[in-house]
Amino acid sequence: MGNRFIFFDCMETLIDMIEIPDQRMYAFWAYSESGVEEYWNSVEDFIEDYLFMRKLLEYKEPYHKEYSLEERLKIVAEKRLGPEDPALIAETVDRLKYSFWSKYVKRCYVAPEVESVLRYLQKKNYSMAIISNFLVSGGIQELLIRLKIDHYFRFVLTSVEEGWRKPHPQIYLNGLAKAQCNAQDVVFIGDDYRNDYLVPRELGFKAILYDKQKRYPDAQRIISFEEIKDFF
């Protein structure tokens, strides 16, 4: 491909986790050892409030607007404690967020083939950036530094900082503005068929689907990360 800019998704594309959590697990990470367990009758009680928050925001307009982890946990805390004591709510949210994030970061890693490909692309003078849905402000940047791959990327745009989640067009357009290039000059690579393949193509990007589960044989795809080298 003649394109010189590559936009990557992040989680489950560049950074993997030792276990792929579902929403119940995310809730458990926030609740467990948070120091505020006493406000709920049980972990199942907390998970119920957490899933209520998820459903509430899922159908809230405008669609694909992003809500930070703090905003989400505030809804959970206020559902249980009420809004009357802002200081208590703020402390509860801080403790839940710290508990969640401390567990999350420990489970993240970069596979050797990912760094091999990034090094290869850098040597071929490709510019690389990340556009990713993420709830923790500065979280992707922290993970990149922890995992020692931050130096490969010109910039990082996340949904929590941009205000919109993929597949909303605005976050992709913000990436183009940051890169100062047109969509046809960019290749988008990620593991989500809609967010990282269909929508980028609709917006004029070239796109490569990281199809680890081999679900989309008709897509322009890679099965292993090393196959990216075949396109560049």
Phi, psi (deg, nearest 5) at residue 220: -75, 110
The predicted pLDDT at position 19 comes to: 87
Which class does domain 5-16+109-231 fall in? alpha beta
DSSP class of 170: H
Structure tokens at 63: 């669609």
Distance, CA of 203 to CA of 184 (rounded, Å): 9
Q: What is the pLDDT of residue 3?
A: 65
Residue with tokens 């913000």: 174
3-class secondary structure, 211: coil
Segments of the chain with pLDDT less than 70: 1-3
Q: Which residue carries 């050797």 as its tokens?
A: 112
Q: How far apart are CA 229 and CA 232, in angstroms?
A: 5
Q: What pLDDT was estimated at residue 4?
A: 86
Asked if 66 and 162 count as a contact pair (C-beta separation under 8 A), the reply is yes
DSSP H/E element including 101: helix 86-106
Which residues have a Cβ under 8 Å from the Cβ of 79 and sit 6 or more positions away? 49, 52, 53
Question: What pLDDT is attached to residue 1?
Answer: 56
Domain boundaries, the chain: 5-16+109-231, 23-106
Burial, 92: exposed, middle or buried (Cβ in 10 Å; 0-12, 13-18, 19+)? Answer: buried
Which runs of consecutive H residues, i.e. helices, occur in the chain? 23-31, 43-58, 69-81, 86-106, 112-123, 139-146, 159-162, 169-179, 199-202
Is the dihedral angle over the CA atoms 151, 152, 153, 159 positive or is it negative? negative
